[in-house]
Amino acid sequence: MDKFRPRPVIYLLLALIVGILSGSAFPDHRILTGFVILICVSFIVRWLIQKKPAFLWLVLFCFAWGYFSVQPFASPRFPPNHVINFTDKYKWLIIGVIDEKPIKSENRLKFNLEVETLGSNRTPVTGKIRVSTSGNVPELSRGDKISFVAMVKSIRNFGNPGGFDYERYMAFKRVWATAYVHESYGIDILEKGPEKGRLEDFRGKISALIDETKPGKHIGILKAMIIGDKGEISQSLREDFSRAGIAHLLAISGLHIGIIAGLAFIFFQWLLSYFQFSFWDGWPIKGAAFFSLFPILAYGFLADMSASGATQRAVIMTVVYLVAILIENKHDPINTLGIAAMVILIADTPSLFSVSFQLSFSAVLSIIYGQSKIPKDCRGGKLFSAFLVSLFTIIGTLPFIMLYYQNVTLVGLFANFVFVPVIGFVVIPLGLLSVLLYLFSAQAASVCIHISAFVLKNTLEIVTPTYFEIFAFYILAWAILNRISIRPEASDEKNRFARKRATSIAAILIFVFIGDAYYWLNQRFWHDDLRVTVIDVGQGSSALVETPGGECFLFDGGGFPEGSVFDVGERILAPLLLKKRIKTIDTIVLSHSDSDHLNGLLYIVDHFNVRSVWKNNNECDETNYFRFLELIQENGIYTPEFKDIIGEHEIKRGCAVVLYPPEDFIEKQEKEPWRKKPNNTSVVVKVTFESVSFLFPGDIEAEAEQELVEMAGDKLKSTVLVAPHHGSKTSSTDAFLDAVNPEYVIVSAGWNNRFHLPHPSVIKKYEERGYQIFRTDESGAISVSTDGERVVIEPYYQKVENLPDSPL
């Protein structure tokens, strides 16, 4: 068996991972899995007693354990008094205990709350909620018992292709609902939590020391790297690091712990080499491994690893690695890495889905495997070895960075080559030295902090890979490394076969990637149908139109009010566009300047290649509107005058027609006050593709609808109508609906929104007229495709296909 299992831990780890993934994808089989676990345990015990082979039973046990361990997160069972049963109904008086250190982010404060009671009658409940608030908030700490008034809302994803699974993310944290405390209500502290421990108090003193040193914009960076506090890193600085490809340096994870472990190991090995003990073979190495445990654990506690899963995993991984050196004469690094992964996944099953876990292990595995395939005489000196470490780190993590962050750096290799040594061997050691010196001299500690500073910026956004492409990338990298590792002069049969096998696999995968590229080019540019996606942006509106040949229109961008920390453009629109391989938008159409149509476009205009912007001339004094105009100018985007966009614009096999407002609407505003309302100056566009048409009316209301009917008449008739003003009762007048006479109506509205849109009377009106109704608040993004006659509608959560008797 050993002949076939040189690394048995890897098989067990893979079984555990497959079990976790299966349990997440196909939950609810607890009883069957529990039965399998009992059978496996009985055979494993028999193996231990009778010394009979049972490795396959051990593999099956790991699979079953992985499946079983993820069930509390994938398929939770809540008691009747769980907080999830009180969501989306009323505002409650909520009393609970903060169970983690509150996190400051820009102008908001967030924390998890273990809820104890709801309502004025103090109904006992269980479960955690995520609380966020802004404005003047009292100083809150872990363990504080607080009260406030807010609605408890269930967690719901935005239903868009390529969207972030926020529900699962929070479920893995055992958080099942959210609450926002409006600043007019405030938070009251009923009982202060336990006094800060010595370690937390010491961490606070180090934070104060960094503040007193005043290293400028680097305060947040130093606090993040020394004590694990990322709350003071501004969003702009995060973007700078992300664009430079070094965002991973802001979180204390495998890189930071690994550097400390490496420096400590080298120091102790050098020190212990002067004390030889004949009774312990390899004393300097094993002794160095033992003593290195202490600075690693000290750094972990200083960085508050109890509040950071990434730091916890990094400490566990490094400790396992050092313990393996202690107990083995020759340890297999990959096997040791597998043991560390198993320890982490058994202790915390959701870690498998953590970005930091995937990045850390893919990086370390890539470094270990990559360097093992580079012949020793080709590795060069220490500088080149450091370059190889950076190279293999980027190769190992590249697909996951593309998958989760949709960006890869043009200078990432060189930025990491410079900054990993600078931060790893200068900033972090000096920061930790300042902590040690602080015990003796605050002035000496301040000098160390002053020395630590840097910044860099440059990036390129890319499309999001599929899981198949990620898998193919790693197999191709494996084949190339194995081909390189076999010397051309190696002439024995085994090496010749291995060389041919690696070459063949690499060649096959190159053809696979060519086929994959052809598929995506066909999806992006060579399709013959018109595609419209009404995007789920919450309470707002945004729609993407893709024409044959790849031309793209983006109608509005959704968005939350100014001051919101959630960027619809970055979090919703960008992932969807990149999943569709779209980096260039030919035309953005801004219907009007309200935040729920405008704000999501700011990120798109600044980060995508936008060729032109259509908008009316109705200026407003909103801050984000001025920022929108600035970004248009900074990026050199063509913005024609409104009078120049009125009328028909040709697209392949069809046209886009701007129908409203009238060219002289600004002059009429003084005499007709209803025109001053931004909704009534919405740019209305009709897109026609052979016999099928789509009408995008923005937020026009009754008066504007009446004028539009008078201006356009029969031209308004459309197959698909995007409901005006999110289905508000101030719109969708009878005359307007008579003129449009659609077969389908798509309502873009936020789930459980505070405006209670769409209005029930409007939905009833649509139903009485026989329209097929689709709603983003119920079905997520609504995707429509047409070949010019047939219409296929695919809500994100279901699929409806209709073949009309006679095309319009």
CATH number for 649: 3.60.15.10
Show the DSSP H helices in 539-638 as ranges.
568, 574-579, 595-598, 600-607, 623-634
Distance CA 63, CA 266 (A): 39
Which of 33, 48, 74 delimits the end of a domain? 74
Lowest mean pLDDT of 445-459, 549-563, 671-685, name the range. 445-459
Distance CA 21, CA 272 (A): 45
3-state SS string for 695-714: EECCCCCHHHHHHHHHHHHH
The confidence band for 504, taking pLDDT boundaries of 50, 70 and 90, is confident
**How many contiguous H segments (helices) and E segments (strands) does the chain have?**
30, 25
If asked whether residues 267 and 339 sit together in one domain, one would say yes
Full DSSP string of 207-224? HHHHHHH--GGGHHHHHH
Lowest mean pLDDT of 355-369, 445-459, 577-591, name the range. 445-459
Task: Report pLDDT for 563.
Answer: 61
Residue 22 domain-assigned (yes or no): yes
Residue 208 domain-assigned (yes or no): yes
If asked whether residues 223 and 239 sit together in one domain, one would say yes
If asked whether residues 498 and 570 sit together in one domain, one would say no
Distance CA 481, CA 369 (A): 9
Lowest mean pLDDT of 32-41, 400-409, 558-567, 681-690, name the range. 400-409
If asked whether residues 630 and 543 sit together in one domain, one would say yes
Q: How many CB atoms lie within 10 A of CB 712?
A: 18
Residue in this structure with the two tokens 């209005």, named with its chain if needed: 759
Contact status, residue 431 vs residue 226, Cβ threshold 8 Å: yes
Task: Report pLDDT for 153.
Answer: 93
pLDDT value at 490 more than 70: no
CATH of the domain at 106: 2.40.50.140
Q: Are strands 407-408 and 175-181 parallel, antiparallel or unpaired?
A: unpaired
Task: Report pLDDT for 800.
Answer: 43
The confidence band for 614, taking pLDDT boundaries of 50, 70 and 90, is very high
Task: Report pLDDT for 456.
Answer: 32
Bigger pLDDT: 617 vs 630: 630
Distance CA 449, CA 441 (A): 13
Lowest mean pLDDT of 94-103, 214-223, 302-311, 406-415, name the range. 406-415
Residue 806 domain-assigned (yes or no): no
The confidence band for 22, taking pLDDT boundaries of 50, 70 and 90, is very high
Distance CA 509, CA 445 (A): 54
Residue 691 region by backbone torsions, left for phi larger than 0, else alpha for psi between -120 and 50, else beta:
alpha
Bigger pLDDT: 136 vs 704: 704
pLDDT value at 6 more than 90: no
Please count the residues of the chain.
Answer: 808
The confidence band for 293, taking pLDDT boundaries of 50, 70 and 90, is confident
For 689, residues 6+ apart whose C-beta sits below 8 A from its C-beta are: 530, 547, 651, 653, 654, 786, 788
Task: Report pLDDT for 807.
Answer: 29
- The whole-angstrom distance between residue 704's C-alpha and the CA centroid of its chain comes to 40
Distance CA 318, CA 293 (A): 9
Full DSSP string of 265-297? HHHHHHHHTTS--TTSTTHHHHHHHHHHHHHHH
Bigger pLDDT: 227 vs 57: 57
CA-to-CA dists, residue 593 to 353, 623, 698, 779, angstroms: 39, 11, 11, 27
CA-to-CA dists, residue 595 to 81, 289, 617, 804, angstroms: 38, 57, 17, 37
Average pLDDT over residues 569-592: 92
Task: Report pLDDT for 455.
Answer: 34
Distance CA 528, CA 788 (A): 9
Task: Report pLDDT for 246.
Answer: 58
3-state secondary structure of 648: strand
Residue 66 domain-assigned (yes or no): yes
If asked whether residues 297 and 312 sit together in one domain, one would say yes
Name the nearest CA neighbour of 596 among 492, 701, 698, 457.
698
If asked whether residues 191 and 209 sit together in one domain, one would say no
Q: How many CB atoms lie within 10 A of CB 650?
A: 8
Residue 18 domain-assigned (yes or no): yes
Q: Are strands 187-191 and 543-546 parallel, antiparallel or unpaired?
A: unpaired
If asked whether residues 145 and 167 sit together in one domain, one would say yes
Residue 99 domain-assigned (yes or no): yes
Copy the structure tokens of residue 164: 């972030």
Adjacency order of strands within the sheet including 720-722? 647-651, 654-660, 684-689, 692-696, 720-722, 744-747, 772-775
Task: Report pLDDT for 340.
Answer: 84
Copy the structure tokens of residue 589: 């159409």
If asked whether residues 169 and 213 sit together in one domain, one would say no
Task: Report pLDDT for 440.
Answer: 62
pLDDT value at 802 more than 60: no
3-state secondary structure of 727: helix
Average pLDDT over residues 174-181: 93
Residue ranges making up the domain that contains 552: 530-797
If asked whether residues 108 and 51 sit together in one domain, one would say no
Copy the structure tokens of residue 313: 């995993």
Highest mean pLDDT among 468-472, 553-557, 670-674, 752-756: 553-557
Between helices 254-272 and 283-302, what is the axis angle to 10°? Answer: 140
Task: Report pLDDT for 792.
Answer: 95
If asked whether residues 339 and 381 sit together in one domain, one would say yes
Residue 493 domain-assigned (yes or no): yes
Tell me the average pLDDT of the chain: 82
Consecutive H or E run containing 146: strand 145-154
Share of the chain above pLDDT 90, in %: 40
Total domain count for the chain? 5
Distance CA 250, CA 230 (A): 8
Copy the structure tokens of residue 662: 């009238």
Q: For the segment 530-542, what is each residue's pLDDT rounded down to a tens digit?
A: 999 999 999 999 9
Between helices 355-372 and 254-272, what is the axis angle to 10°? Answer: 50
If asked whether residues 491 and 607 sit together in one domain, one would say no
Task: Report pLDDT for 362.
Answer: 82
CA-to-CA dists, residue 234 to 217, 523, 562, 563, angstroms: 9, 38, 17, 14
Which of 446, 480, 509 delimits the end of a domain? 509
The confidence band for 700, taking pLDDT boundaries of 50, 70 and 90, is very high
pLDDT value at 478 more than 90: no
Task: Report pLDDT for 775.
Answer: 96
Distance CA 370, CA 339 (A): 20
Q: How many CB atoms lie within 10 A of CB 78?
A: 12
For 371, residues 6+ apart whose C-beta sits below 8 A from its C-beta are: 379, 385, 388, 389, 392
Which of 154, 171, 195 delimits the end of a domain? 195
Residue 1 domain-assigned (yes or no): no
Dihedral, CA atoms, 573, 575, 580, 584, nearest 10 degrees? 60
Contact status, residue 103 vs residue 150, Cβ threshold 8 Å: no
Task: Report pLDDT for 255.
Answer: 63
Q: For the segment 383-431, what is each residue's pLDDT rounded down to a tens digit?
A: 566 566 667 777 777 787 777 766 555 445 555 555 555 555 566 666 6
If asked whether residues 410 and 537 sit together in one domain, one would say no
For 807, residues 6+ apart whose C-beta sits below 8 A from its C-beta are: 690, 691, 692, 788, 789
CA-to-CA dists, residue 554 to 576, 587, 633, angstroms: 12, 6, 19
Task: Report pLDDT for 462.
Answer: 53
